Each structure stands twice: as structure tokens, then as C-alpha cells.
Amino acid sequence: MTLSLNRRSALALMGGSAFAGLAGAPAYARSEDWAALGADVKAEFKWAWDHYVDRAWGKDEINPVSGTSRSFFIDGHDLGLSLVEALATLWIMELDTEFQQGVDWVKSSLNFDIDGYSQVFETNIRLVGGLLAAHLACGDPVLLAKAKDLADRLMKAFDASPHGLPFRYVNLKTGAVRDPETNLAEIGTYATEFGLLGQLTGDDRYYAAAKRAMKHALDKRSDLGLMAANIHAETGEFTSRNASIDVYADSFYEYLWDSWDLFGDAEMKGWAQECLAAMIAHQGKRYEGRLWFPMVDYQTGAVTGTSQTVLGGYLAGLLGQAGFKAEGDDFLASYEAMQDKYVIIPESIDVTAGVARTKRTGLRPEFADACLNLWLGDRDERYRVLTAQHYRNMKATSKAAYGYTSLADITTRPMTQGDNCPGYWWSEQTKYYYLMFAEPKRVDLSKLVLSTEACVLRGFVRP
């Protein structure tokens, strides 16, 4: 895996051109041809896809500056990460020839019987989720069988813990596990994929395993209603005192709400609302008038760090979904200010001063994710305007010779490009943009449920 660009690589996160007209577009009422903008997103996606096919077919990720590729899960073994993540987006965009080309590769070439350790969390949200979404799109039973095969291998990581908390890595061939020191995100981001897999196969053990792991951590909440972000799979105990809404924790909270939305699990809904209320009460802090959610001691509520990562942007949308709309809008405005100031939202932010703590970024989708969820709630055009700005900023800064790339330095002008297109780009922001701008006919937005990786788990409209 590539720590510097991995969507949830917490270890790396903590610690010319004037771009005229890119940043700072508060005119929410300005006219926009949304269909034309949606068509532009589709054209850019197709352009990038053609380069992936030409230069990195079947590889995990393309390096769009050099035109090379890299493995993501297991060094020397590619699992077609970008291809699998792109499938549902291709289908939604009605790029049916390209979609079928990808499905054919999965059916003929994707094999999980590899003697190597793969990160359980990433493998689930990216590959299991991507395969399930592609299956829902076209109905091909081989895609479901592939998803089940992979999930069965990942279940070994749950079985190895006396508490049902998955180890971080599992050998896909042997079932051996390693790295019990884990975190909320990596023990609690399985319920939607595993629950859907259970529905499609008639096997409820997948959802039961996912929910058991989440409940174990939830049962350890402090009197403040907070959880520490780090936990040990063997002992079942928290290994830190920091409560976090982003690094180490983000998608845990998403999957509480999503389990209610997708399966009607009222217990999960209750937990989600309790956790979010505790965050607002004990982590929400104002610095220079902006709402942020820094790390705090989960038992005392004392602030333990004054940084916020770009990953935290998802929370604005989740708050809106769960009935905390005012707080969601308030938090989104903090990230909007960073977009206005830097054009590309910094990877890590010093919330006390509202300034960037890091120079690089990894094509992050969380701001667009939050805007989509808030827009779906009330269809306020300002969320689309903010997302259009996010898209145009990406297009102006991150387009390279062979696709879209991460940035090595957002403070230079022109910005300094890196050389990697993370797999989630194909599944996440490109899909968020297209759903908001094009309102495609193959998706019923009133029924839409997306995973943390933007895999469509409900809402497809098949022709």
C-alpha cells in the first residue's frame, strides 16, 4: 500500500498560474448548465479511463505523470483496484462497452488466491464493495461469487480475535493474520458490504460479524459517549485516549447510519445519533469563528490535538443525514473556507489558525461527498455550486498527461503535481460530481445508498 496517498493513511497525515476564478465562488445563485457540466465530468472520466486501459490495464493504480503503474494491496501482485472501483461509475455514465470490458477482465483474470497479506479494511471497502456494486448494476452472478470468495477470506481476520475484532491484515491464501493494533475505522467498516452480501447470499453471518465488532467498541464508550480511536484486536481494549472524527475513525460512524439507511437496523440508528450528539457536545470547538472537531480525550473531553484532516469533511454530510443539519452546514463552511483560501483543501489543517499543516494532497473526495449528502437532503443549489468549484479546481490543478494525479505541493503556483491516481478517484469524487450534475437516469437518487467508498449499494435503475 502507498502510505502517502492512501485515503486513510493516518501516519502520514498527522504529524506561475494565479488560478484566477478558481477559488472563492460564493455566488450560489449564479446560473450553471448542470447537464453540460455533467457531460464534462463524463468526458474527463472517459479520457482518464482510456489512458488506464492503455498504460495500466489490470494494475491497481496508474501513475498519470509518468504513465507507469503501482500495486496497492500486495507488492508485486495487482488486483485491478482502479478497474474494480471504476465499474459502477462506468455503468452509471452509460459507458457500457467499457463497463463490459472491465467485467470480462474480472471474470477471467481476478484471482484472490495470493500468498500475501492484504489490509482487511481497504480490501473490503474497495474490492468487496466494488464487486457488489458491479453485480447490482448488471446482475452477473460471477461478480457476486467473486465478492463472496473475497469476503470469506477476510472473515478469517474476524475469527482470529476472541472479541470478533478483525486484525488489520490477512493472508488471502492461508488465512494467517497479523497486526492486532488497529482502530475504529478498520474494525467497524464492514456492515454495509457484509450486510448486502448476506442479503444476496442468504447468509447472515457476515452482518453479524460486522455488527459484533462495532458493538464491542460502542460498549466501551466513556461517560461522555465518546470512544478512543485505537483498539487492540486481541485484548479488546482501547490503546489510546484520543477520540477522533476523521483519522482512525471516520467510516465507523458512517456505517452506523448507513446500516439504518440500508437495512433498517434501528439499533444502529440509535448508536449513530448518540455518537454524533456526543461529538457535537464534546468535540465541536470554534476557532476564529469556524466549527472544527479536533481530537479530545475520550474520557475527559480535553483537547489533545489542534489539527483536522481533509478526511473529516465527510462528517458535514453525515450530520445532515442524521438530523443535525445546522451543525453539518457549519462544519462544511469551515472546509469551504479552506477551499477558498487554498483552491485545493489541505490534507491537514491547523484549526487554531485556519492554515495548512501539509503541502501535499491525495485527490481527496470528502468535501464533494459531504456536499452530495447535504444536497440530497434539500436540493439546495449552493451545494452543487460548491461541488462545481471543487471539480473545476481539481481539473485545473491535477490533470496530467495520462490522467488525474495527486499533488506534491498545493502552495506553489502552479501547484506541483505528484504522480499517482488513487483507486478511490474512480469510485468517489467522479461519481459524486456526476450524480449531482447529470442526475443520471440509471440512479434513483431518492433511494441511493453509497458506501464509504461510494460503491452503490442501493438505488440503481437497470434498463
Residue 17 pLDDT more than 90? no
Going by pLDDT thresholds of 50, 70 and 90, the confidence category of residue 31 is confident
Q: Given the C-alpha cell 470512544, which residue does it identify?
A: 227
- The overall average pLDDT reported for the chain is 95
- Provide the β-strand partners of residue 308: 349
Domain range holding 160?
32-179+422-462
DSSP strand pairing (449-450 vs 416-417): unpaired
For residue 462, give the amino acid letter.
R
For CA atoms 378, 379, 381, 385, the dihedral sign is positive
What number of CA atoms fall less than 13 Å from residue 270's CA on the CB side? 5
Prior bond of 414 cis (ω within 30°): yes
List the CATH number of the domain containing 78: 1.50.10.10
Q: What is the mean pLDDT of residues 212-228?
A: 99
Burial of 188 (0-12, 13-18, 19+ CB in 10 A): buried
Cα(first)–Cα(last) distance of the chain, in Å?
A: 37
pLDDT at 248: 98
Within a domain: 351: no
Q: Please check whether residue 164 is in contact with residue 209, taking contact to mean a CB–CB distance below 8 angstroms.
A: yes
Cell numbers for 48, please give them.
Answer: 482518464
pLDDT at 30: 64
Angle, helices 429-438/34-56, rounded to nearest 10 degrees? 150
Q: What is the mean pLDDT of residues 308-337?
A: 99
Q: Please check whether residue 186 is in contact with residue 202, taking contact to mean a CB–CB distance below 8 angstroms.
A: no
For 280-321, the pLDDT digits (tens) are 999 999 999 999 999 999 999 999 999 999 999 999 999 999
Would you call 229 helix, strand, or coil by DSSP? coil
Within a domain: 235: no
Within a domain: 310: no
Q: Please check whether residue 90 is in contact with residue 387, taking contact to mean a CB–CB distance below 8 angstroms.
A: no
Within a domain: 405: no
For 344-381, the pLDDT digits (tens) are 999 999 999 999 999 999 999 999 999 999 999 999 99
Going by pLDDT thresholds of 50, 70 and 90, the confidence category of residue 397 is very high
pLDDT at 26: 47
Residue 348: in which H helix or E strand, if any?
strand 348-350
Would you call 361 helix, strand, or coil by DSSP? strand
pLDDT at 38: 99
Q: What is the percent of the chain where pLDDT is above 90? A: 93
For 91-140, the pLDDT digits (tens) are 999 999 999 999 999 999 999 999 999 999 999 999 999 999 999 999 99
Within a domain: 145: yes
Within a domain: 18: no
Cell numbers for 162, please give them.
Answer: 476472541
Within a domain: 139: yes
Q: How many domains does the chain have?
A: 1
Can you list the pairs that 212-216 forms with residues at least 24 positions away whose Cβ atoms lie under 8 Å? 212/164, 213/158, 213/163, 213/164, 213/165, 213/166, 213/187, 213/188, 214/187, 214/188, 214/252, 214/255, 214/256, 214/268, 214/271, 216/163, 216/164, 216/165, 216/187
Identify the DSSP state of 313: G
Q: Given the C-alpha cell 485527490, which residue does it identify?
A: 363
Cα 63 to Cα 81, 105, 406, distances in angstroms? 13, 21, 9
φ, ψ of residue 292 in degrees (nearest 5)? -135, 165
Within a domain: 122: yes
Identify the DSSP state of 166: P
